[in-house]
Amino acid sequence: MKINPPAASPKSDTPAMAAGRRASGCLVPILADQLTISLASLEAADPATSVVLMAEVQAEATYIRHHKKKIIFLFAAMRHFAAELREAGWRVDYVALDDPANTQTLGSEAARALTRHGLGHVVVTHPGEFRVLVDMESWPDRFGVEVDILPDDRFLCLTRDFNAWAKDKKQLRMEFFYRDMRRQTGLLMNGEEPEGGQWNFDADNRRPPAGNLGVPDQLRIEPDEITRQVIALVEERFADHFGAAEPFWFAVTAGQAWTAFERFLAESLPRFGTYQDAMLVGEGFLFHAVIGLYLNAGLLDPLKVCQAAEAEYRAGRAPLNSVEGFIRQILGWREFIRGTYWLNMPGYEHSNFLGAGRDLPWFYWSGETDMACIGAVVRQTAQEAYAHHIQRLMITGNFALIAGIEPRQVHEWYLAVYADAYEWVEMPNVLGMSLFADGGKLASKPYAASGNYINRMSDYCSRCAYDVDMKTGPSACPFNYLYWDFLARNREKLGRNPRLATAYRSYDKLPELRRQAIAASATVFLDGL
Ligand code: FAD
Ligand code: DLZ
Ligand code: SF4
């Protein structure tokens, strides 16, 4: 038995589709992050003769011990999507977690369903994680069936197009990819020119928080009976996983997710850009969209989301710096990150350019630390399975980078704790952007910063046991001396990076006594972790 090679267009990838027909008599497994009615595999299969398989399995919930809210979100959204598929005329075989016959892995559930329904052909959409792809590629031999793995055309740049773009380029940089994507989609374009005469308005997007910002509330969806059953199941079966199960207020259908997104468009998008990098205690969401979990599970379509944001700008309801900034995250970063993942897998997961080897401190799970910034982000993460980009990058990520925490452990933490985390998006963000563990494949320099940056962009430091103005000693903000110590420790690997030249020059100008005090403070702190 064989895996059919992909054809030129995703919608013509099965032999039947290439001949203008839908494939008949197939099993169509739908994974938890494939909850899209126009999914390639659903469009490729004949609903009259095919069976959709959806399975809640222990192996996927525990290979990384996901946050309770993430599991609730996925199982509840899966159950609602199964109902939607049935209404649309599909025959859906849904295996619940507590079904006594459930064998608790995706592969063995596919095998059981093939036998149960007497089918010999699987049509599936490309999964978002390499290990799942490897498993699916073994199905022809293991189960004696034909398997078509169709490209996931919910992304705006197909993997093969990204690979073609990346080919022969010495360095891959998001900015150039993003410009090509703007031209290709026509988003925020004025003929051949970028709207507003500039591709990127990031310089306008770094305002610190000041005064009462009047942050809008999130739309909180009341769980229905289906979701309440899932909450009870997860509370019972995954009681020892990280995070709070309730209150649970995420959208679990495409319709609800769109309503939540419309609330963002009306209430937050106008200030999204300006305060994109700001952080405030008790305001975890600020003006962010909180849609990563919906986009990644397939409940929202990235192109429609970008078009709706552009319409706000064209109607004069949102400024260009906000709308461009928002579209860049989705059209630029999200697609670029995914391309980077598949371009570098397998192997990317072992990245450790800086040779960092310290264990992840326990306070990443408990939030119990005197560092107010980390405590606030970890507690918010435990409560909401959410932190915004700068919290992930410049607080927990920055600390892990400058403290030299082992990349694999940091990656596993991020994959577990955020409701929007899947390997394709989490891994390059963590290993590439945050930890520089890939040696610069994704980012041109490490995002290392001292307490000064955190103090400028947040209100954390005014509530901290450490003093952000002190540079060394037991009362000094640990980010201050760890920042310099990180540069000193990694000079061999980073010393020639042109974007760090100013930082190294500043370090070299420090008096010798000061450099000794930095090293001593860092040693004491890191030994105490
Ligand atoms: P907004 O700030 O409102 O942005 C809108 C959308 O843009 C997001 O929903 C997301 O789809 C997209 N986006 C923005 N930045 C990125 C980015 N760097 N990569 C990919 N998409 C982006 N994003 C995930 O979806 N899953 C992850 O597991 C994840 N892990 C991260 C780990 C680290 C260390 C860092 C620095 C970033 C990570 N991100 C991840 C990117 C980003 O932080 C989240 O997408 C964002 O915080 C989600 O919240 P939001 O929907 O409110 O986003
Ligand atoms: C993350 C997750 C969880 C918690 N549970 C399931 C599940 O029970 N069934 C399923 O099909 N997928 C689950 N997933 C998502 C997978 O682990 C994996 O991340 C994606 O399917 C990759 O595309
Ligand atoms: Fe974080 Fe340092 Fe500020 Fe404390 S003083 S909140 S440790 S940056």
Residue 68 tokens read as 């309770």
Question: Which atom of ligand 2 is least distant from the CA of 57?
Answer: 8
Where residue 80 falls among pLDDT bands split at 50, 70, 90?
Answer: very high
Residue-level pLDDT at 319: 96
Q: Which of 7-11, 120-124, 310-314 has the lowest mean pLDDT?
A: 7-11
Express each pLDDT in 493-521 by its tens digit: 999 999 999 999 999 999 999 999 999 99
Write the residue with the smallest CA distance to atom 6 of ligand 2.
60
Question: Which atom of ligand 2 is least distant from the CA of 128?
Answer: 23
Q: What is the mean pLDDT of residues 26-47?
A: 98
Compute the distance between CA of residue 36 and CA of residue 420 in angstroms, rounded to an integer. 16
Residue-level pLDDT at 11: 42
Q: What is the mean pLDDT of residues 313-333?
A: 97
Which ligand lies nearest to the CA atom of residue 58 in the structure?
2
pTM over 0.85: yes
How many other CB atoms sit within 10 Å of the CB of residue 262?
Answer: 12
Q: What is the mean pLDDT of residues 347-369?
A: 98
- CATH of the domain spanning 363-528: 1.10.579.10
Going from N- to C-terminal start, the domains of the chain cover 11-150, 159-332, 363-528
Cα angle 135, 137, 138; round to 5:
65
Residue-level pLDDT at 245: 98
Cα angle 464, 369, 445; round to 5:
80
Is the distance from CB of 247 to CB of 228 less than 8 angstroms?
A: no
Write the residue with the smallest CA distance to atom 22 of ligand 2.
128
How far does the centroid of ligand 1 lie from the alpha carbon of residue 125, in Å? Answer: 23
Q: Sort 104 into a burial class: Cβ within 10 Å, 0-12 / 13-18 / 19+.
A: middle
- CATH of the domain spanning 11-150: 3.40.50.620
Residue-level pLDDT at 17: 66
Compute the distance between CA of residue 385 and CA of residue 375 in angstroms, rounded to an integer. 15
Q: Is the CB of 420 under 6 A from ligand 2?
A: no
Question: Which atom of ligand 3 is least distant from the CA of 460?
Answer: 6
Residue in the block written with tokens 């944001």: 309
Strand pairing class (189-190; 193-194) = antiparallel
Residue-level pLDDT at 15: 64
Q: Which of 19-33, 89-103, 216-230 has the lowest mean pLDDT?
A: 19-33
The CATH topology of domain 159-332 is: 1.25.40
Q: What is the mean pLDDT of residues 380-409?
A: 98
Write the residue with the smallest CA distance to atom 2 of ligand 3.
477
Residue 172 has pLDDT above 60, yes or no: yes
Q: Is the CB of 129 under 6 A from ligand 2?
A: yes
* Ligand 1: lining residues by beta carbon, under 6 Å: 288-292, 295-296, 329-330, 333-334, 337, 388-389, 392-393, 397, 414, 418, 420-421, 425-426, 429-430, 433-434
What residues contact residue 211 under an 8 Å CB cut-off, 6+ apart?
Answer: none
Residue-level pLDDT at 12: 45
Mutate to test the pocket of ligand 2, among 27, 28, 33, 75 (most ligand atoms within 8 A of CB): 33
Task: Please give the share of the chain, as a percent, with pLDDT higher than 70.
Answer: 96
Sign of torsion, CA 287 293 297 299?
Answer: negative
Which ligand lies nearest to the CA atom of residue 407 in the structure?
1
